[in-house]
Amino acid sequence: MRPKSERAFYITTPIYYVNDVPHIGHAYTTVAADILARFKRLEGYQVFFLTGTDEHGQKVEKAAQERGVDPKSHCDEMVKRFQSLWKKLNISNNDFIRTTEARHKKVVQKILQDLYDRGEIYSDNYEGWYCIPCERFWTEKDLVEGNCPDCLRSVNEISEKNYFFRMSKYQSWLIENIEKNERFILPLSRRNEILGFLRSPLEDLCISRPKKRLSWGIEIPFDLEYVTYVWFDALINYVSGIGYGSDGDRFRTFWPEAVHLIGKDILTTHTVYWPTMLRATGLTPPKMVFAHGWWTVEGKKMSKSLQNVVEPNRLIDLYGVDAVRYFLIREVPFGIDGDFSHAAMVHRINGDLANDLGNLFSRTLSMVHKYFDGLIPTPSQSQEIDRDLREVSEKVLPQLSKQMDDLAFSRALSSIWEIVNAANKYVDETAPWSLAKEEKDRPRLGTVLYHALESLRLLALLLAAFMPSTSEKMWSQLQMQENLWEQNLKLNGKWEGLKPGRRVVKPAPLFPRIDPAKISLE
Ligand code: MSP
């Protein structure tokens, strides 16, 4: 573990249900979290990036039953799908937590027992309605035409003894905490949504399920007839995954520095249940919960019945890993709903990646080979046009840091593209191919190509978090000796970091153009 003096940054994704295989919604949050984790590491932070799987509860039990396997074997099989996808997507998580692991179960039971001992959990008879797919209780007045207000499916009437967490007791503390911390719930529209929700009285939270109805869960330590409600179990992964109760040093380094990335559908669990659970346990709430939007597919809701679920593995095979990462993050501002289409994807790849970035890279390196035998030339006296390129490039880094702190990934990429565009314009306007015609222009030709190469070095560094394997390719073709991942954005993000005299590699295309007619969707 690195020295404590380094600033710590803790980033999480939701832990995904293993009732089904991963789709682009899952890939979206995980890629966003990875980009932030990599970026913060390059800024010099000590980063912990946690993802994992949510393996208990009715959904998973039912999925296993339908396949005729026991729930644990089902989880063991499905978890591999997530883990191999994250590998393929170049996800740099520091750990992967499964809620069926002993290290997690121990923490859940410890917290339950402690809350029970201190009277924060009590038993009561529950009468009301229950939605199986959402695993939620509803009162009569919550129902919409007799159905679940969330998913609109039918509900069952039940009456049973259960255990409840005194969540209502924390309502005014929670409101105050949200109001005091402008950046606790982002985007602001989501913050207002939760403050609106908290205008009505908050109820206590039912945190148990009788085993006779659901046996696939963590046993309640003080009543073995019951298992833990899946959300109470799942949320605790954010602390069990960084050593709460087992590795005090690690826990204190990263908590409460947490940024939880989630989809907008799981906002209440993360901004009402979770902070009140923490408060009752004596822990500080996380620093930030950011809820992103949902993807539709070619204008329609993604669903199994419509058979339009976008499978990330197939996308990667079709377009390449970095093109997929880039598209998801560039196409739609984080926080807003977006629409996936192959046409939009191909448009981004051919435009931003092949035409703008790829072309800049290959034409610059080709000219260095053609005119300087591949050796990086030594720059001489700068002209105004060179200084302009430098200015644009140096302006981007501080903007980028701020945009990344705001999770404005799409804007961050357009800032980086200001360098791509400026460098393309620079090459067009300085026209190295004309300078190459006269021997007397050779020093100027060297200066121009040096600056063009320098913008590429900077781009490789700034893009590393977003498109890691593309940046690695650029970095190694530029013959940079230093390890890309040990660079520091502030120190190495300055102009003229490129050393003259090294021989760059003959360029291989970064992003081949895609012929839309050749994309077979079957
Ligand atoms: N297991 C819970 C989370 C527990 S976290 C303590 C869960 N799992 S999930 O697998 O159903 O969903 C995980 C995430 O995927 C959610 O953040 C959800 O918003 C996201 N998405 C599911 N479909 C999506 C889209 N179509 N688009 C974008 N994200 C979507 O909820």
Residue 518 pLDDT exceeds 90: no
Angle at 190 between CA 259 and CA 203, to 5 degrees: 95
Rounded mean pLDDT, 207-230: 96
pLDDT of residue 5: 52
- Percentage of the chain modeled with pLDDT above 90: 88
pLDDT tens column, 178-203:
999 999 999 999 999 999 999 999 99
Instruction: Over range 369-381, report the average pLDDT.
Output: 96
pLDDT of residue 119: 98
Place of tokens 């996380």: 286
Residue 208 one-letter amino acid: S
**520 pLDDT tier (thresholds 50, 70, 90):** low
pLDDT band at residue 338, thresholds of 50, 70 and 90? very high
Segment 88-131, tens digit of pLDDT: 999 999 999 999 999 999 999 999 999 999 999 999 998 889 88
Ligand 1 contact, 70 CB (< 6 A): no
Q: In this structure, how many other beta carbons lie within 10 angstroms of the beta carbon of residue 129?
A: 19
**Stretch among 57-66, 362-371, 400-409 having the lowest mean pLDDT:** 57-66
Q: What is the greatest pairwise CA distance in the chain?
A: 92
pLDDT for residue 2 is more than 60: no
* pLDDT tens profile 414-471: 999 999 999 999 999 999 999 999 999 999 999 999 999 999 999 999 999 999 999 9
Dihedral angle over CA of 445, 447, 450, 452, nearest 10: -70
Lookup: tokens for 273: 């249940």
The pLDDT score that the predictor gives to residue 522 is: 47
The 295-297 sheet, strands edge to edge = 300-301, 295-297, 338-340
| pLDDT value at residue 307 | 81
* Token pair in block for residue 31: 């890629």
- Provide the phi-psi class of 185: left if phi over 0, else alpha when psi is between -120 and 50, else beta: beta
Task: Reply yes or no on whether the pLDDT at 519 is more than 80.
Answer: no
pTM of the complete model? 0.95
Site to substitute for ligand 1 among 107, 236, 239, 266, most atoms within 8 A of C-beta: 266
Nearest to 122 by CA among 240, 269, 220: 220
Cβ within 8 Å of residue 176, ≥6 positions away? none
Distance 54 CA to ligand 1 centre (A): 11
> Is there an atom of ligand 1 within 6 Å of 309 CB?
no
- 504-508 average pLDDT score: 92
pLDDT in tens, 487-500: 999 999 999 889 99
Examine residue 133 and say whether the peptide bond preceding it is cis (omega within 30 degrees of 0).
no
* Identity at 110, one-letter amino acid code: K
Q: Which atom of ligand 1 is nearest to the CA of 263?
A: 19
Residue 74's pLDDT is 96
Angstrom distance (rounded) from CA 243 to CA 249: 8
Confidence band for 4, pLDDT divided at 50, 70 and 90: very low
Mean of the pLDDT values across residues 151-179? 95
Amino acid 521: pLDDT: 57
Give the dihedral sign, CA 441/442/445/451: negative
* Per-residue exposure over 38-57, b if at least 16 CB sit within 10 Å of its own CB, e if not: bbbbbbebbbbbbbbbbbbb
CB distance 266 to ligand 1 below 6 Å? yes
pLDDT given at position 122: 98
Q: Where are the beta strands (DSSP E) in 117-180?
A: 121-131, 136-138, 156-165
Nearest CA to ligand 1 atom 19: 263
Q: Is 45 in the pocket of ligand 1 (CB under 6 A)?
A: no
Question: Which of 11, 21, 26 maximizes ligand 1 atoms within 8 Å of its Cβ, making it the mutation to test the pocket?
Answer: 26
Q: How far apart are CA 416 and CA 419, in angstroms?
A: 6
What's the 406 CA to ligand 1 centre distance in angstroms? 21
CA end-to-end span of the chain, whole Å? 48
Average pLDDT over all residues of the chain: 95
